């Protein structure tokens, strides 16, 4: 767990409470304390874990967030429309380093997505070497023809424009037009392209799990902070 030692204004600005230039006004307006003693000097140094704002501990120095992404929300910092980061508290949106999604979900795809401001963690969880399991439910335009599960599990399916076949994926049939699919890759539009390759189309896509993280207790747009270790 991080517990950095630096100036009060550096702590506050990196966590999005205020800018460095605003720190003096912030300390006059809000009760900022070190080990229970209120401070007014923004240049004073302290450990992160010893600082409180209005008797509440500072936000974690690094965040890992699990969200149930609703439909119509975009996983981007720059595109027009409703951005996923707008669903987070305003001060989290001002953090330095910036919070980013770990991978992306299409605008119309819903469900489990992770967000973090930890660049090393983001790289680790998006690396193909990680082979992290993701479980989706896909609603299909046409009833299954019967050989899809075997094809997906074979590890031989090639997608258009790809040079390597997909890794084996497990498919559970819930009804003729609804399946649960477990993949351990994150190729571009992978699930939609998989069903396109077998002559079908995904009408609705929902991700239930990202690795061991499940959104079964989260409503759309709800999120929670996850405690994690890079070990």
- For the chain, the domains span 5-57, 64-127+214-225, 133-210
**What is the mean predicted confidence (pLDDT) over 4-20?**
98
The two beta strands, 73-74 and 82-83, are parallel
In the residue annotation, 117 being an active-site residue is answered as: no
List the alpha helices (DSSP H) in 85-138: 119-126
CATH topology of domain 5-57: 3.10.290
Confidence of residue 213 (pLDDT cuts 50, 70, 90): very high
Range list of β-strands (E), 17-86:
32-34, 37-38, 45-47, 51-53, 56-57, 64-69, 73-74, 82-83
Residue carrying structure tokens 């929670």: 224
What's residue 131's pLDDT? Answer: 87
| Model pTM above 0.75 | yes
Average pLDDT for the chain: 95
What's residue 177's pLDDT? Answer: 98
The two beta strands, 213-214 and 202-210, are antiparallel
Q: Does the pLDDT of residue 28 top 80, yes or no? A: yes
Kindly report the number of other CB atoms within 10 A of residue 128's CB atom.
Answer: 12
The answer to which of 59-68, 82-91, 120-129 has the lowest mean pLDDT is: 120-129
CATH, domain range 64-127+214-225: 3.30.70.580
What's residue 231's pLDDT? Answer: 54
Q: DSSP 3-state assignment of 119?
A: helix
Residue of 41, 55, 59, 106 with catalytic role: 106
- Which residues have C-beta within 8 Å of that of residue 5, sequence separation ≥ 6? 45, 46, 47, 48
The tokens describing 94, both together, are 């001002």
Give yes or no on whether 5-57 and 64-127+214-225 have one common fold. Answer: no
Give the model confidence (pLDDT) of 95-152 as tens digits. 999 999 999 999 999 999 999 999 999 999 998 888 899 999 999 999 999 999 999 9
- Which residues have C-beta within 8 Å of that of residue 175, sequence separation ≥ 6? none
CATH 3.30.70.1560 fits 133-210, yes or no: yes
């Amino acid at each position: 767990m991080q517990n950095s030692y630096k100036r009060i204004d550096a702590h506050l600005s990196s966590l999005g409470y205020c800018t460095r230039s605003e720190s003096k006004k912030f300390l006059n307006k809000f009760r900022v304390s070190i080990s229970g003693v209120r401070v007014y000097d923004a240049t004073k140094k302290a450990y992160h874990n010893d600082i409180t704002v209005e008797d509440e501990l500072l936000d974690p120095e690094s965040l890992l967030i699990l969200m149930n992404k609703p439909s119509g929300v975009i996983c981007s910092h720059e595109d027009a429309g409703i951005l996923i980061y707008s669903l987070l508290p305003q001060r989290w949106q001002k953090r330095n380093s910036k919070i980013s999604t770990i991978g992306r979900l299409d605008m119309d795809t819903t469900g489990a997505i992770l967000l973090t401001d930890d660049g090393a963690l983001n790289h680790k969880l998006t690396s193909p070497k990680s082979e992290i399991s993701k479980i989706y439910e896909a609603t299909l335009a046409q009833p299954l023809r019967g050989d899809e599960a075997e094809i997906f599990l074979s590890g031989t399916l090639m997608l258009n424009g790809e040079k390597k076949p997909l890794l084996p994926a497990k498919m559970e049939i819930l009804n003729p037009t609804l399946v649960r699919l477990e993949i351990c890759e994150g190729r571009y539009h992978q699930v939609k392209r998989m069903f396109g390759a077998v002559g079908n189309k995904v009408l609705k896509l929902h991700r239930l799990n990202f690795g061991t993280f499940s959104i079964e207790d989260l409503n759309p747009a709800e999120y929670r902070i996850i405690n994690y270790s890079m070990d």
